[in-house]
Amino acid sequence: MTALARNLGPRGRGRRLILGIVMLGLGAAGAGVLILTGADRGLRAFLFLPFWGGALGVLQARTHT
């Protein structure tokens, strides 16, 4: 079994973590707005993108990749 390649330094991990948290916050805010305004379910499906980007950023920061 090979070790994971760690290609992010401390500065890069911090940036990814902050970006991930911001994206998750934007997704949550967008979800709140769309739910409160009664937006169509299809429109709310686009919230997948900020949540996916946020989760990806946080996970990359945690695993150093």
**Residue corresponding to tokens 């299809």:** 42
pLDDT category of residue 5 using cuts at 50, 70 and 90? low
SS3 state of residue 7: coil
Q: What is the pLDDT of residues 13-48, one digit of tens each?
A: 999 999 999 999 999 999 999 999 999 999 999 999
Q: Residue 64 pLDDT > 50, yes or no?
A: yes
Per-residue model confidence (pLDDT) at position 2: 55
Q: CB atoms < 10 A from the CB of 54, how many? A: 20
pLDDT category of residue 1 using cuts at 50, 70 and 90? very low
Token couple for 4 = 């994971």
String of DSSP letters for 35-54 = HHTT--HHHHGGGHHHHHHH
Per-residue model confidence (pLDDT) at position 7: 75
Q: Where are the domains of the chain?
A: 10-63
